[in-house]
Structure 1
Amino acid sequence: MSSVQLAADYLLYRLRSFKLHGIHSPFVFDLYRNVLLHTGHFPAYDRVESLREKMLQDDRKLQVTDLGAGSKNLKQWQRAVKEIARTSAKPPKYGQLLFRLVNSFQPETIFELGTSLGITTSYLAEARTQASIHTFEGCPVTAKLARENFKRLGLKQVQLIEGDLDDTLERQLLKIVKLDFAFFDGNHRYTPTMQYFETCLTKHHEYSVFVMDDIYWSGEMKQAWKDIKAHPQVMQTVDLFFVGLVFFRTTQPKEHFILSF
């Protein structure tokens, strides 16, 4: 998507978004006030940002393998670690949002679709050290570095699954009883996004939390977000522009919120 279109989408989001006074759902009001807008500091922030800083200064070149946008056609090119850290990891604002969401909902089983260097994974793991974290990465070289980062932070509960998500996701879901929290950052095209969403739904429950990344990244992602909101099993969504939150609470009405963040 062009930067002009993204800017236009963001302007429309700002015009449509609510703050506290416009929220009538007690659940979403509490979530917004106490989690999304929380400004307190957690020591884990410093640990993960210290890791990010190391990655941003790392000049090593990696032979990155990309499975392609929803295909199995391998593409390879050289990228510096610092460039991957700059462009692929979620910025601190959103990594720390994921930390607070996990810290608030206390999930036992977490899936992350797209590991990269493991910076965002580290935020998820730091927030709930007793959780079982399953993170998926297609590039073996990047996965190796991510494992080193988990070891550096002492995140022993993280299990990194290498390979094509088309092959690994369903197999890993068969090994768990329920999926409490999922962060979708593995593909930015419509068909794979919807496929992974539907696959994860097989293990969701009333209190699961799904987080969709880059919901305005492209026309395909905007369509995927629209269809996810309309899905019969989805009850509440929260549009924060760069990420979308998905809830399944049947005790509350189906509602969609666009909140200023």
Structure 2
Amino acid sequence: MLNITIEYLTFLLKSTNQHGVHSPFSYKLITKCLYKKTTSSLWGKFKEIKQQLLDNKETVKVTDFGSGSKIFKNDERQISKIAKVAGISNKKAKLLIRLVDYFQPKNALEIGTSLGLSTSAIKLGNPNCKIVTLEGCPETSNVAQNLFKKNNFKNIQVISGEFKNTVPQSVKNEQFDFIYFDGNHNKKSTLEYFNSCLETINNDAIWIFDDIYWNSEMKEAWKEIKAHPKVTVTIDIFHWGIVFFRKEQAKEHFKIRV
């Protein structure tokens, strides 16, 4: 906890707001999306969906193929507690809804479904978006599928299995204009997913990497992602790293306080 606090204080010292951004594309994104209020009706629906999970006292046996949990000490976990402490935060959920609403992607890939809260945020941002979401744990993916069914969400395909297998299979001969990376929080896996997904990009693709300051490995992975020749613009908002591949843009990296 102390390390992440130090990282955040360092980030604040190095970051800026829209006034330090001269790229028209990035300036518009920051002022019209990142700094905009979340539509109240969409946020109200998200809170309703989250409450459904917070009210669920059933337990699941979690299969974790990643870096493990910093909170839970065993694999038997109550759904309500997962939603409360390990699900997407309200701040991130608001941002995710706004970003999807702003860019209106048609095809999205999510690496790390968990209980389905972040998937729900994507679907709320654009109800017409077709989503493929990957989850390592069969029991939590079942909870997510039930959540989607209960809220009448269509065109969401949940694929369960280890990411080392499901990521390459999911991106084969596909094109995604939005990818949310919230899987294994280590350098090797993150870069493997990054490289596997590169074949799916188009000029308007937007990728979001969760928890880029989670540990030293994630910081190293983020550094390598920014340096990749196909990456043109990145926006570091501390909790996320946002990546663009717009060929008409000069290569620029921003640290933005949100």
**TM-score when normalising by structure 2:** 0.95
Partner of 1:161 in structure 2? 159
Deviation at 1:83, TM superposition (A): 1.6
1:228 match: 225
Aligned 1:146-157 pairs, distance under 5 A: 146-157=144-155
**Structure 1: runs of 5 or more not aligned:** none
State the partner residue of 1:117: 115
- Secondary structure class of the residue paired with 2:63: strand
Counterpart of 1:229 in structure 2: which amino acid? Answer: K
C-alpha distance in structure 2 between counterparts of 1:239 and 1:149, whole Å: 31
| Cα distance in 2, alignment partners of residues 62 and 208 from structure 1 | 35
Paired with 1:96 and 1:258, the residues of 2 have a C-alpha distance of 19
2:212 — aligned with what?
A: 215
User: Partner of 1:156: helix, strand, or coil?
Assistant: coil
Q: Distance in 2 between matches of 1:90 and 1:40?
A: 16
Identity percentage over the alignment?
A: 38
Q: 1:16 aligns with which of 14, 26, 51?
A: 14
Within 2, Cα distance between the matches of 1:140 and 1:76? 17
Which has the larger displacement, 42-51 or 243-252?
Answer: 42-51
Separation of aligned partners in 1, 2:165 and 2:133: 14
Query: 1:139 and 1:204 mapped to 2: Cα distance?
Result: 27
- Supply the AA of the counterpart residue of 2:89: P
Tell me, yes or no, if structure 1 residue 206 matches structure 2 residue 203.
yes
The answer for the alignment partner of 2:53 in structure 1 is 55
The CA distance in 2 between the partners of 1:10 and 1:67, in whole Å, is 28
Aligned twin of 2:177:
180
Are 1:243 and 2:235 counterparts?
Answer: no
* Preserved CA contact (<8 Å) 1:121 1:135: yes
Aligned to 2:75, the other structure's residue is in SS state: strand
Q: Which runs of 4+ in 1 moved over 4 A?
A: none
Higher mean C-alpha displacement, 212-221 vs 55-64: 55-64
Structure 1's 257 and 153: CA in aligned 2 closer, same or farther, altered over 3 A? same
* Distance across 2 between alignment mates of 1:40 and 1:98: 10
Are 1:7 and 2:5 an aligned pair? yes
User: Is the 1:47–1:153 contact (alpha carbons within 8 Å) kept by the matching residues of 2?
Assistant: no
What's the RMSD between the two structures over aligned residues?
1.5
Q: TM-score, normalised by structure 1?
A: 0.94
Q: Figure out how many residues of one structure are paired with residues of the other and give that number.
A: 254
Give the secondary-structure state (helix, strand or coil) at the position aligned to 1:133: strand
